[in-house]
Amino acid sequence: MPRPTAQKTAKTTAAPARPHEVRIIGGRWKRTKLPVADKPGLRPTPDRVRETLFNWLGQDLTGWRCLDMFAGTGALGLEAASRGAAEVHLFETDAALVAQLQQLKARLGAGALQIARGDGIALAGRLAAGSIDLVLLDPPFGTTQYPAAVAVALRVLAPSGRLYLEAPEHWAADRLAGQGLAELRHLKAGAVHAHLLARA
């Protein structure tokens, strides 16, 4: 049997470069593409998980006040704004990602978005206690910031508010109870564990 030529091998192994992107799943900006920069630790919430989360929450978030503490691409916060949230705080440390979020805000005319560059935990600590209906908490995997992030999330969360927590492992009931939280829903998708939580 003849061996493949070098040229044929190159054709079969070369992969076309494609831009990374995710899409807003529901609401007025449904199908809007969001670029995903090639940055270490940037891992947008998968489409399936976002779809499930907003099925849990209900499709209409009209009037909700939301916080995306580690915004990244902004996929979670933009999904909330697309579904009617009145106020969505997007906090992000990376200057390029913040600029990208500002461009998206201008392009979509998304007046509900309030974008700030800086440490999400520190910025969230400046929000009024009990002022947020939905906290979206998806820090980089491998981070040690979970305890501090959950603590500040609980401080700003309204009494009947919801906390979405994305983590590389399932948070057991005793761990949640120690944080003053109770699990409403849980989903595992690949390496992602998605939790919808409320005050215990």
Residue 44 pLDDT:
67
Task: Give, rounded to a whole angstrom, the gap between the first and last alpha carbons of the chain.
Answer: 68
Q: Which CATH superfamily is domain 14-199 in?
A: Vaccinia Virus protein VP39 (3.40.50.150)
| Each residue's pLDDT tens digit, 113-131 | 999 999 999 999 999 999 9
Q: Which helix (H) or strand (E) holds 177?
A: helix 173-178
Average pLDDT over residues 183-200: 94
Q: How confident is the model at residue 39 (pLDDT cuts 50, 70, 90)?
A: low
DSSP output for 64-91 = -EEEETT-TT-HHHHHHHHTT-SEEEEE
Locate the domains of the chain by residue range. 14-199
pLDDT above 80: residue 37? no
Q: Which of 137, 178, 109, 121 is nearest to 45 (CA)?
A: 137
Tell me the pairing of strands 65-68 and 132-137.
Answer: parallel
| Each residue's pLDDT tens digit, 162-188 | 999 999 999 999 999 999 999 999 999
Neighbours of 108 (CB within 10 A): 17
Q: What are the backbone dihedrals phi and psi of residue 52, each rounded to the nearest 5 degrees, phi first?
A: -65, -45
Average pLDDT over residues 62-80: 94
